[in-house]
Amino acid sequence: MSKIRVAIVGCGVVSHSYIPQLLKSKHVELVAVCDNQVERAKKHAEDYHLPHYFGDVEQLLEEVDFELLVNLTSMNLHGPINKLALEKGRNVWCEKPIATDLSTAYELLEVAKKKGVGIWGAPFTLLSPAYQKMAALISSGELGKATTAHGIYGWEGPSWGKWFYKNGGGALFDLGVYNVTTLTGLLGPVKSVVAMAGAAIPERVVDGELTTVEADDNTAIILDHGDAVFSVIQTGFTYKNQLDDWTIQVIGTEGTVAMEGYDWEPRGVRVFTSKSGEWDTVAKDQEGYHWAGGATYIAECLAEGKEPAIYGEHAVHVLEIMIASLKSAETGRRIAIESTFPWSKERNAYATDSVSGRG
């Protein structure tokens, strides 16, 4: 059985969710961790019995033999670190977004192609059984024409990491990204966007210090998927609480599907069709899916020589939508979207015969 050697850069909050997922897989050998606060990397190496730790990512890339880099650093560092790793011939799994500007994101796809490796990015929500069920119901035609969708996801916002509140951070990049990924997965690529965004809480305490909020903390966007199909997404660091009976809903001419829980942690799918005439709850079992299982899934695909069912191009499309949304909010204009990703109504359920990396 082949194993993929994996290294992690960024030993902050989210690494505690990723590492257990990676260690569970028979296809993963976690060989190194890296953080510029080197004591964090050292602690991880000790706690998880890992052979190598580093304080510098270039040194990690030079000195350790591995196939997949898992990038869990702050968002503004995703692009540059991903590029370094791809140039050194490593596959990359990156927390969202894969870069914070579009030209870097396109460059990452190009470098990956040139080097014969892959780049994939969170969120990994498209492979949850609940998402898959919604996609299958939409593509089966049981809902008629799916014309209308909503997504909402917010919380109070992190009390750590000032970068969350500076340019290149913000609620849309950190949270809205989930709903944008889910709704473009379900309804297809977007042609244009309009949005409103701002900082509703201009100052907040982060890492114990009063910090000025420069990025969006309260954002609303409307996505045009073409053929008069529209979705609406709201996201923010301003939500004390949120009812999560459903957070994603897709309405069609013959029925409706709604996701119980969040798209990153769904509990099931509620469905109504003209044919059944009643609401039913399906896809209640998430089969071990875990939102931090994306890197594990990619490692397993690499080990088994399988084409992953998620695409770097989709992550770039989502990034373009988010950048365009912030531009629309700033200028008051509707912004056209140029990128796309492999999608068709028939394929929107994605080809997931093996999603063992779900968790």
Binding region for ligand NAD (CB under 6 A): 9-14, 34-37, 40, 57, 72-75, 77, 95-96, 160-161, 174
CA atoms of 131 and 97, how far apart (whole Å): 20
| In the complex, minimum distance from the CB of residue 53 to ligand NAD, in angstroms, rounded to a whole number | 11
Q: Are 61 and 85 in contact (CB under 8 A)?
A: yes
Question: For residues 127 and 258, which CB has a smaller minimum distance to ligand NAD in the complex?
Answer: 127
Q: Which is nearer to ligand NAD, 98 or 258 (CB)?
A: 98
CB of 264 to ligand NAD, least distance (A): 8
CB of 19 to ligand NAD, least distance (A): 12
Beta bridge partners of 281: 270
Residue type, 65: D
Residue among 19 and 250 whose Cβ is closer to ligand NAD: 19
Residue 238 CB, shortest distance to ligand NAD, in Å, is 17
- Least Å distance between CB 123 and ligand NAD? 8
Residue 95 or 260 with smaller CB distance to ligand NAD: 95
> For residue 165, which phi and psi values (nearest 5 degrees)?
-105, 5
Closest CB to ligand NAD among residues 119, 143: 119
Residue nearest to ligand NAD (CB): 12
Shortest Å, Cβ 10 to ligand NAD? 4
Which amino acid is located at 109 in the chain? L
Looking at the Cβ atoms of 84 and 111, the one nearer to ligand NAD is 84
Smallest gap from Cβ 91 to ligand NAD, in A, equals: 18
Nearer to ligand NAD, 59 or 274 (CB): 59
Per-state percent for the chain, helix, strand, coil, to nearest 5? 35, 25, 40
Q: Is 265 helix (H, G, I), strand (E, B) or coil?
A: strand
Nearest alpha carbon to residue 335 among 187, 196, 154, 172: 196
Closest to 130 in 3D by CA, of 292, 279, 266: 266
Residue 222 near residue 207 (C-beta atoms within 8 A): no
Radius of gyration from C-alpha coordinates of the chain:
20
Q: Tell me how far, at minimum, the Cβ of 310 lies from ligand NAD, in Å.
A: 16
Nearer to ligand NAD, 174 or 255 (CB): 174
DSSP state of 242: -
Q: What is the dihedral of CA 173, 6, 312, 84, to 10 degrees?
A: 80
351-316-173 Cα angle (round to 5): 110
User: How buried is 277 (Cβ within 10 angstroms: 0-12 exposed, 13-18 middle, 19+ buried)?
Assistant: exposed
